[in-house]
Amino acid sequence: MEQKRIAAIVGSLRENSYNRQLALAAKEIVGERAIFDIIDYSEVPMMNQDIEYPAPEAVCLVREQIKTADGLWIFTPEYNHSYPGVLKNLIDWLSRPISKEERQVLSRKPIAISGASPGMGGTLIAQDLLVMLLSMLNANVMNSPRLAISNIAQQADEAGHLALSTSLPYLQKQADAFLKFIG
């Protein structure tokens, strides 16, 4: 049987992002069980309908990575009790049909959601809003388990490197569940 493919999106462009480190930890946990690619969408421009068709090369590349993936795993920070604008911009691009013949790539796509924040809320509000957005786009969100890590700095050293002590078993559980979910 062909190996499953997971595409991951990190909703932070910050180099030392906790959420990027969480995605890297998930990649390690998934290991040989699936191909796990963290998508680079840094070149995706701001949505502008004047440049929508034909779509910019950077948008085409991300769409192709998601289209060919069996599942998408989103790692999101919370900004002002919502998901970051860079993530919304990317999802706006992904929400549009590729062409008259081909529908948008998030439709029926299995999606897992995780997030980490230094605050108490652990990105839960952002995640709930993201679920609302993704359900409107007909995505197949795995609602349980989701992973929301609060006080993330307590699981990092002074340089901000994650050790993921307490949250590791929960990330492992979510990875196991998502691999099952994408079947």
Residues that bind ligand FNR (CB under 6 A): 12, 14, 17-19, 77-81, 117-119, 121
Q: Nearest approach, Cβ of 15 to ligand FNR (angstroms)?
A: 9
- What is the nearest approach in angstroms of ligand FNR to the Cβ of residue 18? 4
The minimum distance between CB 59 and ligand FNR, in angstroms, equals: 23
Q: What is the DSSP letter of 42?
A: T
The C-alpha atoms of residue 75 and residue 18 are separated, in whole angstroms, by 9
Long-range contacts of 169-177 (CB under 8 A, 24+ apart): 170/145, 171/22, 171/25, 171/26, 171/29, 171/114, 171/147, 172/29, 173/145, 174/26, 174/112, 174/114, 174/145, 174/146, 174/147, 175/26, 175/29, 175/30, 177/112, 177/142, 177/144, 177/145
Closest to ligand FNR by CB, 72 vs 87, is 87
The residue among 62, 67, 70 whose CA lies nearest residue 10 is: 62
Taking Cα atoms as reference points, which of 25, 1, 23, 27 lies closest to residue 12? 23
| Least distance from ligand FNR to the Cβ atom of residue 150, Å | 8
If the CB atoms of residues 18 and 41 are measured against ligand FNR, the closer one turns out to be 18
Closer residue to ligand FNR in complex, CB, 36/75: 75
Closer to ligand FNR by Cβ: residue 77 or 105:
77
Q: Please identify, using beta-carbon distances, which residue of 103 and 161 lies nearer to ligand FNR.
A: 161
Shortest approach of ligand FNR to residue 74 CB, angstroms? 12
